[in-house]
Structure 1
Amino acid sequence: MEITVAEALFRCLEEEEVELIFGYPGGTILPVYDALHSTSIKHILVRHEQGAAHAADGYARVTGKVGVCMATSGPGATNLITGIANAYMDSVPMVVITGQVPTSQVGTDSFQEVDITGITIPITKHNYLVKDPQQLPVVVKKAFHIASTGRPGPVLIDLPKDVAQARIKFKYPKSVDLPGYKPTYKGHPAMVRQAARIIMESERPVIYAGGGVRISGAAPELLELSETISAPVTHTLMGLGCFPGDHPLFLGMLGLHGTRYANQAVTECDCLIAVGARFDDRVVARISGFAPGARIIHIDIDPAEIGKNVRTHLPIVGDVKTVLRALLPCLQKKDNSRWVERVMQLKEEYPLRYEHDGSLKPQFVMEKLNEYKKDTDIVVTDVGQHQMWAAQYMRFKEPRSFLSSGGLGAMGFCLPAAIGAKLGAPERTVILIVGDAGIQMTMQELGTAAEQKLTLKIFVINNSRLGMVRQLQEFYCNKRYIAVDLQFNPDFAALGRLYGMEGYTVETPDQLMSLLPEVLESPAPVIVDCKVSRDENVLPMVLSGSNINEAIS
C-alpha cells in the first residue's frame, strides 16, 4: 500500500523511537503537519522556531537521544540556524526537518524560499535536499546514524512540498552503509599502552575532562582513572557533572573564568590527560604558556580536534569510554600524595571568594541554590555572568544535570532548552538560571511551558545590565560603557504570573533564604526575580594575552 512521503517520514521517526518533535508549521511543511494525524509522536508547538531548535537540543542533552525539530521554509528555516549552530558547537545529536518550496520552484526566489542546505553546510555534520521521494526513508536512516554516532551533531533534511505529497511504497532500511563515514571507536592499542607508560612515569598528573565524557557515558571510567593514579580533575563548561563536584580531587572549571587552583595545577602538572575536550580559547588563553612542562595525552573521537590548538605529545583517536576501558587495565595503583598535597594547598591558597556587603550577590544566589537543590535536579543556564557564577559555585554529581550553551554562547538558550529538558526528564526538577537580558530573547516560550504544564523553577539574575559585556568594557574599554544598561525591564514576577506561574521578587539575602525551600519544593512553576548587585564582576578572570595562571581575582 502506498502512503505519502510525509506519512512515511513519521513512520521513519517511529522506527527511530522518536517520542517528541518541537516545531512550528507553515505553508511548505503543511503536508508534513497534516501527516501528524497518522502518528503517535507528540508535537510540541513552540512560539518561535529558535525555541524549537534549543528545545530539541535540551531534550537531547538530558536523554542522550536524538532531538528532532522542524519548521517551514524561508524564515522558519532561518530562525532555526542559531539553535543548529549551537548544537553543532556543543556536539549535540539533532535531526532538523525543514519544508522547502516545490522542486519546480527551487532556485527561482519564490515566496519563502531560501537555500537552507547551502546556508547550514558549515554548522551541520551533513544535510540533505530530498528530490527523489523514494529516497526519503534512506535519507532519514542516514541522518539519524550520522547525528548520533562518532562526534554527535545536527543533520538537516530539507523536504520540498511536492516531494512530501508524493506517494511511495514504504520500506525502512535496517542499516545504512556510508563508505566515507567510519568513526573510530577503539584507540590504537600501542598508543594506549604508551599513554599508560607516560601516566605511570608522571609525578604531577592532571585530568582535563570535557563534554565528550558526558556524550560517551564515561563518567564511571573517569572517576576510576582519577582515583587509580591520584590525579585531580579539572573540566570544561561542557564537562560539568562528569566528575563528582564533592570529590577531594575535583578542581572545578579551568580557563578564562576557571578557579585559580585549577589553572595553577594545569600550569604545574607534568602530564595532562585531556579526555573528550578540545582545548578551545576559553580554556587555553595563551598557547605558549599553557601546561608548559606537561606531556599532553589527548583522547578524542574527532581526529580533527587533536593537535588543532595545542601540541599533543600522544594522540589517541577513539570513543572516550572505549579508550578509558582499554587504558585502565594497563595502569597500576599510583600514590601521588605529594602532588595531591600541593593541589590541596592551592585550593586553600586560592579559594573562590566575593565581598559580603549585605546586598544580594549573584554568587550568594548560586551558593544557596547549590545548597538546596537535589543531586537529581537539572540546572540550565543562559549565557553571561550568571553562567560563569553557576559553573564556579554549583556542584554536580550527575553527567546530564548541567546544561549550557558552550561553544556558541547563545543568549536565549536557557528557557527553550529547559523546556526540552523537562519534557525529556519529567520526573526531575529543572532549575533555570538566566539573566534579565537573556530571558527577554526567548521569553515567548513561557507560553510553551504554560501550555505543556511544565513546573519550571526560573531564577532571573537581574542586574538591569548586559553584565558580561559591561565587565569586558570595564577591562578593555577603559570603563567606556556603551549599550549595556537595560533602562527598562518588565516586572518578571508579574510576567510569570501572567503565564500562570508563581512570581516573586527578592532583593536581600534573607528574602532569598526564606523563599528558596518553598520555591524548590512547590508543585507549581515559579519565577523568582533576583535583584542583584549591578557592578559585580566574574572573577577570577584571565586577561587577553595572559597565561591561565595569571588570572586576576
Structure 2
Amino acid sequence: MRCADALVELLEKNGVKFIFGHPGEQILPFYDALRTSKVRHVLMRHEQGAAHAADGYARSSGSMGVCLATAGPGALNLTMGVATAYKDSVPMLVITGDVPRKLRGKNVFQDIDTCRVLEPLTLKTFDAKNPEEAVKGLKTAIKMFENGLTGPIHLNLPKDVLEESVNVSSFEELVNEDIKLSIKLQNEKTMDKYISKAIKSIENSQRPLILAGAGVIWADAVSDLRNFAEKNKIPVATTYPGRGALPEDHLLCLGMLGTRGTEASNFAGKNCDVLLALGCRLSERTLHGIGKTKIIHVNTDDDVLRGDLKIHGNVSEFLKAVHDFEIQDTGEWISRIMEHSNEYDIQTDQDDVPLKPQRAIKEIINASEDAIMVNDAGTHTTWVTLLKKVKEPGTLLFSGGFGPMGYGVPAAVGAAFANPDKNVVVVVGDGGFQMTLQELATISQHNLKVVICIVNNSSLGIIKQWQKLHYDGLYEVELENPDFLEIARAYRMDSERVDSPGEAFNAVKRGFKEMPYLIEVIVDTEEGIPLPKVIK
C-alpha cells in the first residue's frame, strides 16, 4: 500500500469528511489518493483560506478540521490560519507536503524548514522520515484530539515518503497499535484529592461564580455545565470563545466577562469569593473582570493553569465528579448580581442617514435568526459582540485571540460544509473582505448557503478611531474601494447595496432566498465603537 493511500484511508476510517486545501507538486501523491477516496477535498483559492475554512468547520461542528498544502509557499501561506486556531485552541490537523528527503536542507526549489516555522504555532509537529512514521504521526494526532487536547497538530510529508510503500500487515498493526501519549494528566488518586478540595471550597462559598471557556464546548460538556449550574444555582459568566456554553438568555447566564464584559458579569467577577474557571486560559482581557478571589482552574493544558487550585484534567470528567455536595443558598448573591444588567446599553433605533453601523448590524442579527454568524476583525466585530445573544455553541464564529483580518469569508466556507442545513451569515468590514475575497469563487462554485454583509465605512475603522484618540491625525486608513457589487457579479453571485435604516434587515431576508448572496451596507464613516467601561 502506498503511504499516501494509507494516510487517506486512516483519515476516512476516523470520520474525516472534508479537507480544505490547495494542491502543489510536493503534495500530489496525497491528492492522487484523495481522488478515489470518500473524503471530499474542497479547493480553496489561497492556503490561508484553507486554514480558516478548517477552523470554521471545527468551531461550528465540534469536530477536527483538516487543511492541506504543498511545500514552501503553500505551507507558509497556512501560517496565519494555523496561528489563529492555535490562539483559540481549535482542533485542526495541518498537513503539508515537502521536498524529497535527499533534497531537504540543500536550498533547492521551495525547500524550507516548515516544521521549525510551525512548531511554535502547534501543539505538536510530526516530521515523517518514512511511511511508518507518517502513519504513526497521523494516528497519534487523532489520538491526541480524542483525548481532549485542542489546537493545531502538524504532519509534514516529504513527497518521496508519500510515494513509498508501506506493508499492508504493518499498516494494520500501526492502525491497531495502542498509542501511548505523554500527556501529564493527574492520576486518579491525585485527582480525587483535588476534587475533594474543590468541593469543599464550593460548599463553603457564599458568592460562587462559574467562568465557562471554550474548553467546555470542546469537551462536549455543555449539558454537564448546565445541569451543574442549575442544580446548585450558581451563576455563569463566559469568556469570549466560551459564548454559548450556556444560552445567553438563560436566567443564570450573566454574559461575557472581562474587557467587553457585561455589567452583571464583571460585578460578579469582581465580587465572587470562589471562581470555578472551566476550560479557559484566563487571558489578560478576561482577568480584567476578575477581582481578588479564590480560583479553581480546570484545563487539559498545563501551560495555562493558574490560580489557587490547579486541576489538570478534562472539564466533562470534572463536572461529573463534583456532583454530590451541599452548597449554601445563593439567592441573595444572585439578587445582588441581577441589580446589574447583562445587556449592553446601546442605541440601535436611530433613523439617521448616513446609516449608523450599530443600527445596520442589529438589523443583520435580527434578520439572521437561527443562522450561523461569522465575524471578521474590525469595528463591526465589537458591534456584533455587544449586540448578539449567543444561544448555542458554534453559532458565532470569530478570530478571538489572534484577530486576523480576512478570517470571515473562508471560515464561512468551513461552517457551510459542516452545516449544510443551516444558513451562514458573514459580517465583515470593507478592509477585511479584501484580504480573502478570492474565496467568493469557492462559495460560488459550491453554491453555498452563505450571505456576506460588507459593512463599508471606507476605512480601516478601528485603526482610524485609535489614530483620532491617541495620535495627531489620520494616516493610511482611508480606503478607495472597488465596486463590491461588480466583484460579486464577476464571481457569479447576486448582490445589492443598502444605505438607509430598515434596508439591511430586508436585504438579508432577500439574501436567504438567493444564496449565495452579497450585501454591501454603506454606513457612517465617522461612527466609532464605544470604549470599554471602567470595571468596579
Distance 1:533 1:224 in 2: 45
Provide the aligned C-alpha RMSD in A: 2.2
> Map of 1:385-396 to 2, 5 A cutoff?
385-396=379-390
Matches within 5 A, 1:25-40: 25-40=23-38
**Residue 443 of structure 2 contacts residue 516 of structure 2 at CA under 8 Å; is this kept in 1?**
no
Shift of 1:36: 2.6
Instruction: Report if the CA contact (8 A) 1:150-1:184 is conserved.
Output: no
Cα distance change of structure 1 residues 114 and 236 upon mapping to structure 2, 3 Å threshold: same
Secondary structure of 2:176 counterpart? coil
Once the two structures are superposed, residues 417-455 of structure 1 have per-residue CA deviations (whole angstroms, 9 ceiling, x without a partner) of: 110111011111111111111111111000011111102
Aligned mate of 1:430, from 404, 410, 424: 424
Matches of 1:513 and 1:29, distance apart in 2: 45
Match of 1:163 in 2: 161
- 1:14-51, Cα deviation, whole Å (9 max, x unpaired): 22221111111111112222223332221111100111
Alignment deviations for residues 80-126 of structure 1 (CA, whole Å, 9 cap, x no partner):
11111111111111111111111111001100111001111111111
* Equivalent residue number for residue 205 of structure 2: 202
Q: Are 2:336 and 1:352 equivalent residues in the alignment?
A: no
1:232-275 deviation digits (Å, cap 9, x = unpaired): 32212211111111123322222222223322331122222211
Residue 201 of structure 2 aligns to a residue whose secondary structure is helix
Aligned partners of 2:316 and 2:426: how far apart in 1? 30
| Distance (whole Å) between structure 2 residues aligned to residue 32 and residue 498 of structure 1 | 32
The Cα of 1:144 is off from its aligned counterpart by 1.7
**Residues 167-205 of structure 1: per-residue CA shift (max 9 Å, x gap):** 222324124423523545978223223222322332322
**Secondary structure in 2 aligned to 1:345?**
coil
Partners of 1:238 and 1:166 lie apart in 2 by 42
Q: How many Å separate the matches in 2 of 1:315 and 1:111?
A: 48
Of the three residues 534, 538, 545, the one matched with 2:525 is: 534
Who is 1:517 aligned against? 509
Corresponding residue to 1:381 among 375, 382, 395: 375
Aligned 8 A contact 2:18 2:39 in 1: yes
Partner of residue 15, structure 2? 17
Which residue in the other structure is 1:127 paired with? Answer: 125
* 1:141 pairs with 2:139: yes
Q: What residue is the counterpart of 1:372 in the other structure?
A: 367
Q: Is the 2:209–2:268 contact (alpha carbons within 8 Å) kept by the matching residues of 1?
A: yes
Counterpart in the other structure of 2:535: 549
* Shift of residue 76, structure 1, vs aligned partner: 0.5
Q: Is the 8 A contact 2:366 2:505 kept in 1?
A: no
Q: For 2:404, which of 406, 410, 428 is the aligned residue?
A: 410
Do the aligned partners of residues 540 and 195 (structure 1) sit closer, same or farther apart at CA in structure 2, a change above 3 Å counting?
Answer: farther
- Bigger drift between 497-506 and 393-402 goes to 497-506
The answer to whether residue 475 in structure 2 is matched with residue 482 in structure 1 is yes
CA distance in 1, matches of 2:413, 2:193: 45
Cα pair 1:138 1:176 within 8 Å, conserved: no
Structure-2 separation of matches of 1:538 and 1:264: 22
- State the AA in 1 paired with 2:529: V
| Amino acid of the structure 2 residue aligned with 1:106 | R
| TM alignment of 1:51-130, pairs within 5 A | 51-130=49-128
Cα contact 1:7–1:32 (8 A) shared by 2:
yes
Cα displacement (A) at 1:139: 1.9
The corresponding residue for 1:299 is: 298
- 2:499 matched to which residue of 1? 507
Change (3 A) 1:473 1:116: same
* Residue matched to 1:468: 462
SS in 1 for 2:227: helix
Residue 415 and residue 181 in structure 1: after superposition, are their counterparts in 2 closer, same or farther (change >3 A)? same
Q: 1:50 — aligned with what? A: 48
**TM score, norm. by length of structure 1:** 0.90
Which deviates further from its counterpart, 442-451 or 496-505? 496-505
5+ residue gaps in structure 1?
A: 543-547
Give the paired residue count: 529
Amino acid at match of 1:529: E
Alignment deviations for residues 293-348 of structure 1 (CA, whole Å, 9 cap, x no partner): 422221212222112xxxx122222111111121132244x532222222222118
Letter matched to residue 489 of structure 2: R
Residues 516, 33 of structure 1: alpha-carbon distance in 2 compared, 3 angstrom cutoff? closer
Q: 1:313 and 1:181 mapped to 2: Cα distance?
A: 22
Q: Which residue of 2 aligns with 1:283?
A: 286
Q: From the superposition, tell whether residues 296 and 135 of structure 1 become closer, same or farther in structure 2 (CA, over 3 Å).
A: closer
Contact 2:344/2:387 (8 A) holds in 1 = no
**Secondary structure at 2:166's aligned position in 1?**
strand
Q: Following TM superposition, by how much is the alpha carbon of 1:523 offset from its aligned partner in structure 2, in angstroms? A: 4.6
Distance 1:513 1:160 in 2: 51
* 1:545 aligned residue: none
1:313 aligns with 2:316: no
Residues 18 and 40 in structure 2, CA contact (< 8 A), matched pair in contact too: yes
SS in 2 for 1:114: coil
Q: What is the CA distance between 1:148 and its match in structure 2?
A: 4.3
Contact in 1 for aligned 2:363/2:502 (Cα 8 Å): no
**CA 1:8–1:44 in structure 2 vs 1: closer, same or farther (change >3 Å)?**
same
**Structure 1's 513 and 139: CA in aligned 2 closer, same or farther, altered over 3 A?**
closer
Where 2:223 maps in the other structure, the secondary structure is: helix
Q: Distance in 2 between matches of 1:149 and 1:91?
A: 14
**Structure 2 runs not aligned, ≥5 long:** none
Asked if 1:7 corresponds to 2:5, the answer is yes
More displaced 10-residue stretch of structure 1: 187-196 or 16-25: 187-196
Structure 2: how far apart are the matches of 1:189 and 1:468?
A: 48
Give the Å deviation of 1:65. 1.9
The letter for the 1-side match of 2:442 is T
1:243 to 234, 242, 246: 246
The letter for the 2-side match of 1:264 is: F
- Partner Cα distance (1:330, 1:185) in 2: 22
C-alpha distance in structure 1 between counterparts of 2:384 and 2:153, whole Å: 31
Quick one: distance in 2 between partners of 1:268 and 1:326? 27
Counterpart position of 1:232: 235
Partner of 1:492: 484
